[in-house]
Structure 1
Amino acid sequence: MEYTKLNYLLFKMGNLFNSKLFMIVVALVIIIGVTLFFVYDYKNDGPVLSRPNDHNEQKGKHSKKRNGKTEIWLAVIPVIILLVLFGTRMALSHASAPDTIVPSKTEKKVATGKVVLVNNSTGKVGITTKDRKDDNPIVARVNNIPVTPDTPLISSYAGTSISNKQFLSLTVGDNVKINVHPYEWLYKNHDEYGNDEHASHVISMLNQAKVNGEVIKIKADSHTKKNSNKNLKLNRAKAQNATYSSGLGY
């Protein structure tokens, strides 16, 4: 995806509308609007403020109708301006920066391991791998909160999650794999719009930490199942022979 000059203009405007200058403009609109309303009302003797003297008493009564429409506009116009300002701010908040990073659509396997813990009450699964042993297993949770580029503390395998369907199918001893969607640049021409060194560092850190992985159970193939059944039969035979040799058989 290409980043255009229009995208960059909207992004810069969004920064402007999120700055202190925006709040100053909002405050000025409110102050000026309120001041104009009451000054006009007072000078024209009502309907809100009228000078309390006999000369203006009758004038103030008649001015209520005459000034009503004008004062409605004086009250409505600042409100319209504020709505436009905040509406524009909300619309521009969706403008993306040129150095935006996103998870790629490509799925990559980053680890394989074995389930050592299944906690049904918390929806938590403990997984050991070559680099994570029993004393420090990878912890995956059902619908875990994902790590974002703005997360202040990023640890290895943070945000690893497991679907509820996969969680229900797991037992201790099952083999699993962890897949991730590596982070990448959203825009190919990001380097044309300023320094992206910080974002490049964030991409490297997130991918190195293998964050937001998804745990998937590895299904045993037919050969593995045959060996497993064979070993099970051998173990049963050994146990039966041991029982007879000890004099406990019938």
Structure 2
Amino acid sequence: MLPNIPFTDLVTVASGALVGFILALIGGGGSVLAVPLLVYVVGVRSPHMAIGTSSIAVAISALANMLSHWAAGNVRWACAVVFSAAGIGGAFAGATIAKQVDGQKLLILFGLLMIVIGALMLRKNRGGGDPAVRLTRDTARAMLPRLIGTGFGVGLLAGFFGIGGGFLIVPGLILATGMPLTSAIGTSLVAVVAFGASTATSYALSGLIDWRLAGTFIGGGLIGGLIGIGTGKLIGGHDKVLRSVFSAVVIAVGLYVCYRGAMYFLT
């Protein structure tokens, strides 16, 4: 006899699996779908609750990926610590501001951000940069202000929208340090963990995290991640096509979120 699993749990696991699958398959971007999935598919009525719940899921998912990049030597820890420390302040500020904004207005802004992220994903990633770049006494004078300023700005957006912000962090790190893409991706995950945990803490203190829902969503994400890793090995070099398709999906969902938010105020 099959166990009597609530339909909401099944939908939550499936939504988490989709996010985890995309994260594992194309290396990022799946977390931006977490809030729309929680609101429009799972049925979380409060946008603030959806943002708070998704932020803890994003942080844990990023932690798992960060450990693998650390083992591969792709994390520049000095840069990561400075960037993350500045971003934590921004994330707390962003989360505090977001909780004062009307939930439906927040969804419209989130939809606009999705459109921007989808467009950024279509841009060709460049693999250049200096593999030897490090934050040292010699480079600190030029690098520190850029790391702190960029980190705070990205953290502000990550906290406001409850996302990991990987697609903002990676170009921010490249701009601030000149490190290559592979190092920027590995280093960015440290910041994603920090920003997600900061945002989750802020929302948790306000009672805006559904912990049972978060656990179910994360469980689905782990399953989807394993499937995504296996699928990635099978498709090989076709990931660029998938990234383009996914970016189009992100833009389409962003337009839908904006439409639903606008209709709320027009009806």
TM-score bucket (shorter structure): under 0.3
Structure with greater helix percent:
2
Please say which structure displays the higher CA radius of gyration.
1
TM-score by length of 2: 0.17
Structure (1 or 2) with the greater strand fraction: 1
